[in-house]
Amino acid sequence: MSKPVNLNRYRKEKARAEKKARADRNAVAFGRNKSEKERQKVEEHRARQKLDGHEIEE
């Protein structure tokens, strides 16, 4: 005879594995560390200042 399988445990393990895989994909697609976020903020601020500096005042 074969050993009985707990289907609830199997289903939960499968759901956990799918959730982990989705989290890993999202980390690659959207994940940035703190220094990258800060650098982007600074670059956006500089670009905004440069654009404002070229504004023609009447």
Looking at residue 4, its pLDDT comes to 87
Looking at residue 16, its pLDDT comes to 98
Calculate the average pLDDT of the chain. 91
Q: What is this structure's pTM?
A: 0.50
CA–CA separation, 33 and 44 (whole Å): 17
Range 21-45 average pLDDT:
91
SS (H, E, C) 1-58: CCCCCCHHHHHHHHHHHHHHHHHHHHHHHHCCCHHHHHHHHHHHHHHHHHHHHCCCCC
**pLDDT over 80 (residue 58):** no
